[in-house]
Amino acid sequence: MEGLLQRMGMLRGWSPQTLSAYRSDLKHAASFLHSNRGHSIFDASQDDIASYLATLRKAGLKESSIYRRRSSLSTWYGYLQQEGWREDHPVHNLPNMHRGRKLPKELSEKEVELLLATPEVGQATGLRDRCMLELMYATGLRVSELTGLTLSNIDLQAGIVRIVGKGDKERMVPFGEEAGNWLKKWLQKRASTANTHLFPGRSGKAMSRQNFWQRIKLYANRAGISPLPSPHTLRHAFATHLLNHGADLRAVQMLLGHAHITTTEIYTHVSRARLHELVNSAHPLGHK
């Protein structure tokens, strides 16, 4: 399985994180099929896959997680069919599932201001963290994109950050004057460092996603923000606040690096929710 999975990931331009997620899903399914159905993940039937998905439901797994594992299996069998390993596709004729869409935790603009102002910028670590938070909110980068930035990704004069995102797709994302000012301060502070990573951790390597998450939790606690935001909260805030101020959905899609507009549309639900809140609180018949 591993060799085929590696080849599939290479052909589709998967990131290491995406490949790892598929590997985890397929190994879990393969273990069930072998132990409970006496089949491998190569020759499983439609009934075998249906039994696997039903077991996940009985175990209380969230619908969104079941959907993801089913999607991984569908991609796997589609590839096997394409390469001539099997003639049928055991997932295609299963009943459709509707993917649960959880709206992201929303930070207000005031909460974002509080979060950004929390790091102690008189210290190198605090200055680095302030710059990271400012840049993430200014550009909507994914956490992995932010922590993986190198000096060559930044064009201060043009106010542009160059990103190679999912599927090795490149995009240019502009950032504003405020983020640019903090970038200048951080670059001056780290000027003597030979490291090419824009935001190195203690080891000198790129900061890990887990470390960045710990930094966000630290500052959110200090700022009194509850519930604690996720690592992607500033990316969500970037998209939501742009739409709240009239940005075009297609433009936001390009900035976020979403392959499909349907992924971006989740943020329109957040914006509409705020409009409903406004009507309910301000309109004379809003509480009727």
Residues 6+ apart with CB under 8 A from 76: 5, 8, 22, 26, 41
- Only one residue has tokens 């998967």, namely 14
267 contacts: CB under 8 Å, gap ≥ 6: 236, 239, 240, 243, 252
Rounded to two decimals, what is the model's pTM? Answer: 0.59
Q: Minimal CA–CA distance to 90: which of 57, 31, 48, 53?
A: 48
Return the ∠ at Cα 59 (arms to 93 and 38), rounded to 5°.
60
Q: Give φ, ψ of 186 to 5 degrees.
A: -70, -40
Q: Which of 96, 76, 94, 86 is nearest to 30 (CA)?
A: 76
pLDDT of residue 279: 46
Give the integer Cα–Cα distance in Å for 147 and 198: 8
- pLDDT at residue 75, as a whole number: 92
Domains of the chain, CATH where assigned: 2-82 (no CATH), 109-279 (1.10.443.10)
**For position 191, what pLDDT does the model report?**
64
- Catalytic residues, by residue number, are 142, 166, 232, 235, 258, 267
Cβ atoms within 10 Å, residue 243: 20
Nearest to 172, CA basis, from 228, 242, 254: 254
Per-residue pLDDT for the chain (288 aa), expressed as one digit of tens each? 888 899 888 888 888 888 999 999 999 999 999 999 999 999 999 999 999 999 998 898 888 888 889 999 999 999 999 989 999 999 988 877 655 555 556 788 899 999 999 999 999 999 999 999 999 999 989 888 999 999 999 999 999 999 887 667 788 899 999 999 999 999 998 866 667 889 987 777 788 888 888 999 999 999 998 888 877 888 888 888 888 787 777 888 888 877 776 666 666 655 555 544 544 555 455 554
